[in-house]
Amino acid sequence: MRKNSRLMLAAGFIGLVLTTSSFAQENAKPAEPSGKDLAFNNKKGNCLACHLMPGVPGAISNTTIGPPLVGMKARFPDKAKLRAQVWDATKANPQTSMPPFGKHQILTEQEIDKIVDFIYGI
Protein backbone atom coordinates (compact mmCIF):
# COMPACT_ATOMS: atom_id res chain seq x y z
CA MET A 1 0.00 0.00 0.00
CA ARG A 2 2.82 2.36 0.86
CA LYS A 3 4.50 1.68 -2.48
CA ASN A 4 1.33 2.60 -4.36
CA SER A 5 1.01 5.83 -2.40
CA ARG A 6 4.55 6.82 -3.37
CA LEU A 7 3.90 6.00 -7.00
CA MET A 8 0.68 8.01 -7.00
CA LEU A 9 2.44 10.94 -5.32
CA ALA A 10 5.28 10.80 -7.85
CA ALA A 11 2.83 10.59 -10.78
CA GLY A 12 0.87 13.54 -9.40
CA PHE A 13 4.05 15.60 -9.04
CA ILE A 14 5.14 14.80 -12.60
CA GLY A 15 1.68 15.71 -13.88
CA LEU A 16 1.82 19.03 -12.03
CA VAL A 17 5.26 19.84 -13.46
CA LEU A 18 4.16 19.00 -17.00
CA THR A 19 0.96 21.04 -16.69
CA THR A 20 2.80 24.03 -15.27
CA SER A 21 5.47 23.82 -17.97
CA SER A 22 2.84 23.56 -20.72
CA PHE A 23 0.91 26.53 -19.30
CA ALA A 24 4.08 28.63 -19.14
CA GLN A 25 4.96 27.82 -22.76
CA GLU A 26 1.47 28.64 -24.01
CA ASN A 27 1.39 31.97 -22.18
CA ALA A 28 4.96 33.08 -22.91
CA LYS A 29 5.19 36.21 -25.03
CA PRO A 30 7.00 35.69 -28.33
CA ALA A 31 10.31 37.48 -28.63
CA GLU A 32 10.09 40.91 -30.25
CA PRO A 33 11.69 40.86 -33.71
CA SER A 34 14.87 42.88 -34.11
CA GLY A 35 15.43 45.46 -36.81
CA LYS A 36 17.45 42.90 -38.73
CA ASP A 37 14.64 40.34 -38.39
CA LEU A 38 12.15 42.86 -39.76
CA ALA A 39 14.47 44.02 -42.55
CA PHE A 40 15.03 40.44 -43.70
CA ASN A 41 11.38 39.33 -43.30
CA ASN A 42 9.70 39.06 -46.71
CA LYS A 43 6.34 39.92 -45.12
CA LYS A 44 7.64 43.06 -43.41
CA GLY A 45 10.61 45.20 -44.50
CA ASN A 46 11.95 42.80 -47.12
CA CYS A 47 14.92 45.11 -47.70
CA LEU A 48 16.90 42.29 -49.31
CA ALA A 49 14.47 42.14 -52.22
CA CYS A 50 15.86 45.41 -53.55
CA HIS A 51 18.99 46.33 -51.59
CA LEU A 52 22.42 44.79 -51.36
CA MET A 53 23.78 44.70 -47.80
CA PRO A 54 27.46 43.81 -48.02
CA GLY A 55 29.11 42.79 -44.78
CA VAL A 56 25.86 41.92 -43.01
CA PRO A 57 25.76 38.29 -41.82
CA GLY A 58 22.74 36.52 -43.27
CA ALA A 59 22.25 39.06 -46.06
CA ILE A 60 22.45 37.29 -49.40
CA SER A 61 21.29 39.47 -52.23
CA ASN A 62 22.40 40.17 -55.77
CA THR A 63 19.81 42.80 -56.55
CA THR A 64 20.42 46.24 -58.00
CA ILE A 65 16.85 47.58 -57.81
CA GLY A 66 17.67 49.94 -54.94
CA PRO A 67 20.98 51.39 -53.81
CA PRO A 68 23.19 49.24 -51.59
CA LEU A 69 22.63 49.79 -47.89
CA VAL A 70 26.19 50.72 -46.94
CA GLY A 71 27.64 53.78 -45.28
CA MET A 72 24.22 54.86 -44.12
CA LYS A 73 25.55 57.30 -41.50
CA ALA A 74 27.57 59.06 -44.20
CA ARG A 75 24.66 59.07 -46.66
CA PHE A 76 22.14 60.16 -44.04
CA PRO A 77 23.93 62.23 -41.38
CA ASP A 78 20.46 63.19 -40.13
CA LYS A 79 18.91 59.90 -39.05
CA ALA A 80 15.45 61.49 -39.22
CA LYS A 81 15.86 61.82 -43.01
CA LEU A 82 16.59 58.10 -43.30
CA ARG A 83 13.49 57.37 -41.23
CA ALA A 84 11.44 59.67 -43.48
CA GLN A 85 12.79 57.79 -46.50
CA VAL A 86 11.65 54.45 -45.08
CA TRP A 87 8.32 55.91 -43.96
CA ASP A 88 7.52 57.34 -47.42
CA ALA A 89 10.22 57.36 -50.10
CA THR A 90 7.78 58.89 -52.59
CA LYS A 91 8.17 62.29 -50.91
CA ALA A 92 11.82 62.51 -52.00
CA ASN A 93 11.25 60.69 -55.29
CA PRO A 94 7.69 60.28 -56.62
CA GLN A 95 8.95 57.75 -59.19
CA THR A 96 10.58 55.43 -56.62
CA SER A 97 9.73 51.76 -56.55
CA MET A 98 10.25 51.65 -52.78
CA PRO A 99 6.98 51.08 -50.95
CA PRO A 100 5.92 53.81 -48.51
CA PHE A 101 6.16 51.51 -45.48
CA GLY A 102 4.72 53.96 -42.96
CA LYS A 103 2.24 55.79 -45.15
CA HIS A 104 0.65 52.50 -46.26
CA GLN A 105 0.97 50.98 -42.78
CA ILE A 106 3.08 48.08 -44.02
CA LEU A 107 5.21 48.58 -40.92
CA THR A 108 4.30 50.06 -37.55
CA GLU A 109 6.10 53.11 -36.26
CA GLN A 110 8.07 50.89 -33.85
CA GLU A 111 9.03 48.50 -36.65
CA ILE A 112 10.25 51.40 -38.78
CA ASP A 113 12.34 52.66 -35.87
CA LYS A 114 13.91 49.21 -35.43
CA ILE A 115 14.72 48.86 -39.13
CA VAL A 116 16.16 52.38 -39.30
CA ASP A 117 18.34 51.66 -36.25
CA PHE A 118 19.55 48.46 -37.93
CA ILE A 119 20.35 49.89 -41.35
CA TYR A 120 21.81 53.09 -39.87
CA GLY A 121 24.49 50.92 -38.31
CA ILE A 122 25.45 49.36 -41.66
pLDDT in tens, 23-36: 555 666 778 899 99
> Up-side HSE of residue 71: CA atoms within 13 Å toward CB?
4
Both 50 and 22 in one domain: the answer is: no
Both 47 and 88 in one domain: the answer is: yes
In angstroms, the CA 57 to CA 87 distance is 25
102 in Cβ contact with 116 (< 8 Å): no
In angstroms, the CA 13 to CA 80 distance is 56
| 0.75 surpassed by pTM | no
Question: Which amino acid makes up residue 89?
Answer: A
96 in Cβ contact with 44 (< 8 Å): no
Both 15 and 58 in one domain: the answer is: no
Number of domains forming the structure of the chain = 2
Task: Give 79-108 pLDDT, tens digit per residue.
Answer: 999 999 999 999 999 999 999 999 999 999
Both 97 and 50 in one domain: the answer is: yes
Which domain range does residue 22 map to?
Answer: 1-30
Per-residue confidence (pLDDT) for residue 59, from 0 to 100: 76
The model's confidence at residue 18, banded by pLDDT at 50, 70 and 90, is very low
Per-residue confidence (pLDDT) for residue 22, from 0 to 100: 53
The CATH number that applies at residue 75 is 1.10.760.10
Both 7 and 54 in one domain: the answer is: no
